[in-house]
Each structure stands twice: as C-alpha cells, then as structure tokens.
Amino acid sequence: MLDKTPMQCWADRARAVMPAGGFGNFDPSVFIRKGKGARVWDEDGREYVDYLIGSGPMLLGHGHPEVLEAVTTQLPMGMTFFANNAPAVELAEEICRAVACAEQVRFLSSGGEADMYAMRLARAFTGRDKMLKFEGGYHGMSAEAQMSLAPARLVNFPQAVPDSAGIPEAVRNEMMIAPFNDPDYLESLLAEHGDQIAGIIVEPLQRIIPPEKSFLQAVRSLCNRYGIVFVFDEVVTGFRFAYGGAQEEYGVTPDLCTLGKVIGGGFPLAAVAGRKDIMDHFDKAIVGDDKWLMMLGTLSGNPVAAVAGLKTMEILRRDGAYEQLKANGVRLMAMFRTHLDAAGVAHRIIGHPTLFDIVFTDRDVRTYRDVLSADAGISARFNTVLRENGVFKSPGKVYPCLALTEADFEMTEAAIVAAAVALG
C-alpha cells in the first residue's frame, strides 16, 4: 500500500478529533502550511496563488512586513487585557473618520458577533421584535442569520427557512425574508408590516450579487418612512471596495454597519459602528437598565489585532492602493471572460473587481435564486481544475489582493486556460 501524503495523515488525525474532520469553513482535505505575499503552500508542499486570502482579511497579502513589525512590537507589551487599550481607541477613531455612518464603535471578535449585536441594537432602539433580511444574505451564524441563507427549498416570501438544526420556531417567526434587488416587493411588504420591523440588514453586495441602481437608496428611503434601523453588513465590503467601504462606493449611508476581516489585519477583530443615539444602548448610564444592551467579549478590541488593523488601514490610505487593487480585479475578470468565451462556456462574471466569481449560467444574475439555478456541477469542475493548476479559491468567490505579481498573474492565467479547456 502506498504511503499516505502529509495532508492525508493530517486529515486522518483531524477526523478523529474534529466533527467532519475540520473547522466547518473549507474543504477539510486541505491543510495550509504557510502563506507569503499572494501565495500559500499546503502540507504536501504544493504552491498556489491565493484568491481565498483567509476568506478576505489578507487584503495586503500574507506576511506583509509592516504589519508583522507592528504586531511584533506589540506582542512583548501584551496580547490582551480585557480592558481598554490605546491602539483599539486609535482604531475606533480611524473607523469613525473613514466610515460615513460611524459616530461610535464597539469592538467584537468576529463578524458574526457584530451582525448579531447589530440586529439586537435595532430591536433595543425601536422596541420592535421582527428583523428583515434578504434571501441568500450571509450575516454570520446566529439563529436569526441562519434563516434563508442558502435554502434548497424555495418558499413564498416573506416566510423564513431555517438553514440549521437547533433553531427554535420562535426565531423563525420573528424573521421576514425578501428578495434582493426587488424594491417593489419590499415596499408592498412594509406597507403591511413596516410598523413591526425593527431593522433591515443587508450585504450591500450580497455575496457576489451587486445591488441594482437605486435599490439601496430605495431601502434607505423605506427605512426612513417606517422608522426602521437600516444595517449594512460590511464585514466583507468594509475597507475593501474603497476606504469608506460600500457606503462610499454606493453613496448610501445606513444607520449601523458591521465591520470585520480587513480591520483586524489578519487577526480576530470586528465591530459594530453607527449613529450615537443607537449605539447609546451599549451605555447603561444613558439608556437605563431596561434599554441597556449587555455586551462582553474576552478578546474584543485586543491590542494585537488593533495594531495590525491600524497598520493595514494606513497602507490602504497610501496613494494608488485602491486603484491597484481594483486594477488587479479587472485584469482577473478579463482573463476569466476571455478564456471562457473562447471555450464557448456560458457564464456570467458577477460582483465587484475586489470580490467576484464566475456563475455558470446564460441568464442575468440578480438574486439568490438566479445563482441557485446555475450549473453547480460545472462550477465544481472548474474550481477543481483551477486548484489542480495552482489557483486556490473558495467555491463561490475570488478575492484579489494587493500582493499579486506578474508571476502570479501568469500562473493564474495558465490555470484559467486549463480549466476553460476542461469545460469546453
């Protein structure tokens, strides 16, 4: 019998001690040993151009020397304190300068936590119980967020479909679901239920689906009309689309937003940011016992993540950083389009230059249901051949980073050619 590879040995060990042999995030057969710049290496020694970038946070690439220097300077001074620290205050100040809706900031450790607290804030502020999200929108792993994230069973709106076991029926009854990019449906729904809804939470770019012209503006106006808290989930888009995030890119200001990924510079850090009168519900001295929203987090605002985030954001403020990031994405989009067209493969490239993917369909993609109806088998084959040829990406996203080099683009294009030919 042939000896097992290092990754196969690690997979055996993982299956013995971890459910499904992994963290629940990604293909559990893959074990990454190291990353540098725009590349990663697995435990078998294979090298890849990395378009997963840790599911988004490594916007500068892996091991950026200035970020490493900031972190190694902080480490001997302390890793976490469960108390205020100056770097986290500086980071909060910079977020408030950069993000249109941010008058105050509260830190957490993960984007899912931030989304959970944003929804709770909306309820605390309005005194209402119901939340509305859009079908296919991802907002973490809370019970509310796990409603109609990726339903295989399509039901009539606004009924919610739980995506996980263990969610009480009562939670389902407090969630309403609407189709993305359909302001007319939303207006009709709010005409009947608007006075019951505390908040509407949306990914401004829903996974990879862009908002149609005026959709976000329409949601903003409807929230104003019905006294609903409007929440942008900018865990992915924040400091990626532009320094001011999707709020800057689309010119729409929500009441609250959630941030993560980029603001921690590769370390666990997230935030809720927004209007002071809503954020006041974190302050018992202002709102009193009955309206106070309790929040604790052992590692929230830890100084290591804060200094990594501050340095990352400083680098992103430098001249040409966003122009280069977007140019990298536009170049990649063109590569995919050119070679898939040449192979005669029906597809749509959906998203933003800093975050996109290829959907194998001959239809326009406006909603989750359009993505669901695409050819998942072709997509899986395409991604498999890309990985076999040295391109590492998630099943549903391409994340460009600033560290991409000419050699990285050449290796990527060769993999795209091989994958397109395999489908043609």
pLDDT digits (tens, 9 = 90+) for 393-402: 999 999 999 9
pTM of the model: 0.96
- pLDDT of 2 > 80? The answer is no
Amino acid at 64: H
Distance CA 379, CA 11 (A): 25
Active site residue 362: no
Classify residue 191: in a domain, yes or no: yes
Closest CA to 293 of 142, 120, 140: 120
252 and 172 in a single domain? The answer is yes
Distance CA 369, CA 123 (A): 29
- For residues 219 and 183, the answer to whether their CB atoms sit within 8 Å is yes
Tokens matching residue 380 = 């899986």
236 and 99 in a single domain? The answer is yes
Q: What ranges make up the beta strands (E) of 32-96?
A: 32-36, 39-42, 47-50
User: Of the residues 261, 311, 393, 397, which is catalytic?
Assistant: 261
Per-residue pLDDT tens digits for 334-383: 999 999 999 999 999 999 999 999 999 999 999 999 999 999 999 999 99
User: Of the residues 48, 51, 117, 138, which is catalytic?
Assistant: 138
- pLDDT of 1 > 60? The answer is no
Amino acid at 85: N
pLDDT computed for residue 424 by the predictor: 84
The DSSP line for 211-254 is: PPTTHHHHHHHHHHHHTPEEEEEETTTTTTSSTTHHHHHHT---
Out of 268, 288, 316, a domain closes at: 316
pLDDT computed for residue 418 by the predictor: 98
Whichever domain contains 292, its CATH number is 3.40.640.10
How many Cα neighbours within 13 Å face the side chain of 124? 23
Per-residue pLDDT tens digits for 255-306: 999 999 999 999 999 999 999 999 999 999 999 999 999 999 999 999 999 9
Distance CA 105, CA 271 (A): 6
52 and 176 in a single domain? The answer is no
Per-residue pLDDT tens digits for 33-89: 999 999 999 999 999 999 999 999 999 999 999 999 999 999 999 999 999 999 999
CA 315 from chain center: how many Å? 21
Classify residue 205: in a domain, yes or no: yes
Any idea how long the chain is? 424
Active site residue 138: yes
User: Of the residues 50, 115, 182, 233, which is catalytic?
Assistant: 233
Active site residue 117: no
382 and 343 in a single domain? The answer is yes
Domain count, the chain: 2
What average pLDDT does the segment 93-106 reach? 98
- Domain of residue 379 covers 31-63+319-423
